[in-house]
Amino acid sequence: MLDRFTGLQVFSRVAALGSLSAAARALGMSQTMASKHMTALEDRLGVKLVHRTTRKVTLTEAGQRYLDSAERILEELERADAFASAERVEVTGTLRVNAPVSFGVRVLAPMLPDLAARHPALRVDLALNDRPVDLVGEGWDVAVRVGLLRQPDLIARRLAPCRTSLAAAPAYLAAHGAPERVADLAGHNCLDYTLSQSVGGGQWRFGPDESVKVAVTGNLQANNGDALLMAARAGQGIVYQPTFILGDDFRAGTLVPLTLDHPPAHLHGVFAVYPMSRRPPARLRAFVDWMAERCGPVPPWDRNLAL
């Protein structure tokens, strides 16, 4: 009988990396063995957790639901190991953190005073940019990333789910009407995010496996979600962004969420990503644990948000 704990590890890595082979490499096992663990886990549960294609692996709806529980179990085991070892290491030194601009400004930066109060000897060097960074080459200790990861040489810990939504201002909808189907978006002014393969790049994707696609055009594209948010808020067009960007406007009524005939794409989650190490420094472990505590299992940006 295959080890259930290893099966959870394989599933968590597959969810983070989107590839069975990448998950196998990250865990130091063969792809055949990783596949056996995934199959054994699915057989034991009696449900399919992932869709497998030649290009990538995506989570089923059951897989999305199971992932949060699986990762909580893995996190609890990590904490139990640390407690059993009686490790009491002071959190000191400088931690270099990289994060996307919108997430960093809206979510991470407002929480940092709590981290400082908890670990007063820790110094955080925070940089915000939306481009992919080379953690090792550029000397970053940890990065916060949104969406599917494609770097199997890095450790990825899922911090929170990340929902997306279509949105438009009431003024835009009054002037142009609301789309009802994904295909209707071709006739609207769509404000496009250039750095995403799921919710940008001239082709927006929908459905749990992102198999429903529509080509979109509009008079504004940008490499930052808040720039598009401001244009949408002013009634310029429709925006397709994560709820951590759109949530405050939904609550205020300045933007209206749009529901189509296919659900919006899942961005797989918000992750803490860091280089592999047999024993990460205490400041890195403290930061990742703190982020997981503050962001999950229901992220603060989604609380009291009805979609």
- Here the tokens at position 12 are 């968590």
Whether pTM exceeds 0.75: no
Q: Looking at the DSSP assignment, which residues form a beta bridge with residue 142?
A: 97
Out of 74-83, 125-134, 226-235, least confident range: 74-83
Better-predicted residue by pLDDT, 3 or 80: 3
Residues of the chain with CATH 3.40.190.10: 93-160+268-300, 164-258
What is the per-residue pLDDT for 294?
Answer: 92
- Residue 28, helix vs strand vs coil: coil
In CATH, what number does 93-160+268-300 get?
3.40.190.10
User: Of the candidates 218, 216, 222, 231, which has an alpha carbon nearest to the alpha carbon of residue 185?
Assistant: 216
Query: In CATH, which of 1.10.3720.10, 1.10.10.10, 2.40.40.20, 3.30.70.890 is domain 4-84?
Result: 1.10.10.10
Out of 83-87, 136-140, 186-190, 220-224, least confident range: 83-87
For the ranges 51-65, 202-216, 225-239, the maximum mean pLDDT occurs at 225-239
Superfamily of domain 164-258: Periplasmic binding protein-like II (3.40.190.10)
Average pLDDT, the chain: 87
What is the per-residue pLDDT for 86?
Answer: 45
- Residue 193, helix vs strand vs coil: strand
Q: pLDDT tier at 187 (50, 70, 90 boundaries)? A: very high
Rg of the chain over CA atoms, in angstroms?
A: 20
Looking up tokens 């997430």 gives 103
What is the per-residue pLDDT for 255?
Answer: 97
Alpha-carbon span 258 to 121, nearest angstrom: 46
pLDDT tens readout for residues 106-164 = 999 999 999 999 999 999 999 998 887 888 788 889 999 998 766 767 888 889 989 99
Angle between helices 20-27 and 4-17 (to 10 degrees): 120
Q: Looking at the DSSP assignment, which residues form a beta bridge with residue 272?
A: 144, 157
Task: Give, in degrees to the nearest 5, the angle at Cα 74 between 70 and 80.
Answer: 145
